[in-house]
């Protein structure tokens, strides 16, 4: 089986959408203590995300090489990557920005629901071109087009419930993990990594190798220090003491 060498030149981005409280909770009173605690968690998460983001971008710009066993395997990785990037983009464009208005008149309500569905479909269908992160990389854009075509109806339905105030998923963030749920989308097959997964695994391996190297270096320095101490001690023991006797002056007779 032929080996395909792939050089990563994909600028990977991790999007974090910042929004206020969901509209359905705007009138609720917030616990200030909870906000402070949550704030620390959010800040800590933001730092970790920023560090990972910077590291991913540096690796992507530098170019990382991965070995695959077939073109099919490479295509699966690109499709999985396209799914994650599409979820991030669609989440930022639709969730928390669209809402189905409920009316006492059933026809009016259904009409507005259909309008929202049409708007969502339009955004989903143009994802691969309108998302700058996807469109600027041709292999990912090509994989995205196939992904959207295979999943457009499911994507529209998944997003539509997030615009419905009566649904439990109203304004719930569309997380990338959905790409691995075969009951929801045809995104990442079992065991198929995304580009970010490949890089993160490499980072983990590099970090582990670095820790092992540092521990080895510390142990070597410790052994060298102890060896010097033992040598110094042996040298000190082997050194003969020189005893100088006073010259006796003969007494006068």
pLDDT at residue 30 above 70?
no
Q: Which of 244, 185, 191 is nearest to 69 (CA)?
A: 191
Which residues, at least 6 apart from 13, have a Cβ–Cβ distance to it below 8 Å?
53, 56, 57, 85, 88, 133
The strand pairing partners of 8, in sequence order, are 64
Q: What is the C-alpha to C-alpha distance for residues 176 and 87, in angstroms, rounded to an integer?
A: 6
Please report which helix (H) or strand (E) contains residue 130, including its range.
helix 127-130
Q: Burial level of 29, CB count in 10 A (0-12/13-18/19+)? A: exposed
Phi-psi region of 170 (alpha: psi -120 to 50; beta: other; left: phi over 0): beta
The first and second tokens of residue 121, run together, are 């479909």
pLDDT at residue 52 above 80?
no
Residue with more model confidence, 68 or 76: 76
Mean pLDDT rounded to a whole number for the chain: 78
pLDDT at residue 10 above 90?
no
| 136 phi and psi angles, rounded to 5 deg | -80, -5
Domain ranges of the chain: 70-206
- Residue 224 is predicted with a pLDDT of 87
Q: What is the C-alpha to C-alpha distance for residues 229 and 214, in angstroms, rounded to an integer?
A: 23
Residue with more model confidence, 185 or 20: 185
Q: What is the C-alpha to C-alpha distance for residues 198 and 65, in angstroms, rounded to an integer?
A: 10
Spell out the alpha helix ranges (H) of the chain.
32-62, 71-94, 106-125, 127-130, 132-135, 138-160, 195-238
- Residue 130 is predicted with a pLDDT of 97
Which pTM value belongs to this model? 0.66
Percent pLDDT > 70 in the chain is: 72
Among the residue ranges 137-151, 152-166, 167-181, 236-250, the one predicted with the least confidence is 236-250
Task: Give the residue-averaged pLDDT of 51-64.
Answer: 72
112 touches 119 (CB < 8 A): no
Task: Give the residue-averaged pLDDT of 44-66.
Answer: 68
pLDDT at residue 79 above 60?
yes
- Residue 60 is predicted with a pLDDT of 66
pLDDT in tens, 130-159: 999 999 989 999 999 999 999 999 999 999
pLDDT at residue 83 above 50?
yes
- Residue 163 is predicted with a pLDDT of 96
Residue with more model confidence, 197 or 48: 197
193 touches 80 (CB < 8 A): yes
How does DSSP classify residue 161? G
The first and second tokens of residue 242, run together, are 């020189």
Task: Give the residue-averaged pLDDT of 183-191.
Answer: 93
The strand pairing partners of 50, in sequence order, are none
Task: Give the residue-averaged pLDDT of 86-101.
Answer: 95
């Amino acid at each position: 089986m032929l080996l395909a060498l792939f050089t990563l030149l994909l600028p990977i981005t991790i999007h974090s959408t910042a929004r206020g409280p969901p509209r359905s909770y705007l009138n609720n009173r917030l616990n200030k203590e909870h906000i402070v605690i949550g704030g620390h968690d959010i800040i800590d998460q933001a730092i970790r995300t920023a560090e990972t983001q910077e590291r991913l971008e540096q690796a992507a710009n530098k170019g990382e090489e991965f070995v695959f066993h077939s073109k099919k395997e490479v295509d699966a990785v690109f499709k999985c990557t396209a799914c994650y990037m599409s979820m991030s983009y669609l989440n930022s464009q639709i969730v928390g920005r669209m809402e189905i208005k409920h009316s006492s008149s059933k026809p009016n309500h259904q009409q507005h629901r259909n309008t929202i569905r049409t708007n969502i479909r339009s955004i989903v269908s143009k994802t691969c071109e309108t998302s700058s992160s996807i469109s600027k990389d041709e292999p990912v854009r090509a994989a995205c087009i196939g992904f959207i075509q295979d999943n457009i109806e499911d994507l529209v339905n998944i997003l539509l419930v997030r615009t419905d105030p009566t649904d439990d998923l109203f304004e719930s963030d569309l997380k990338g993990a959905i790409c691995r749920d075969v009951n929801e989308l045809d995104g990442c097959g079992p065991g198929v990594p995304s580009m970010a997964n490949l890089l993160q695994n490499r980072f983990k391996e590099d970090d582990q190798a670095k820790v092992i190297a540092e521990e080895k270096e510390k142990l070597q320095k410790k052994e060298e220090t102890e060896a010097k101490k033992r040598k110094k001690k042996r040298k000190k023991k082997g050194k003969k003491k020189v005893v100088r006797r006073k010259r006796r002056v003969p007494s006068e007779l």
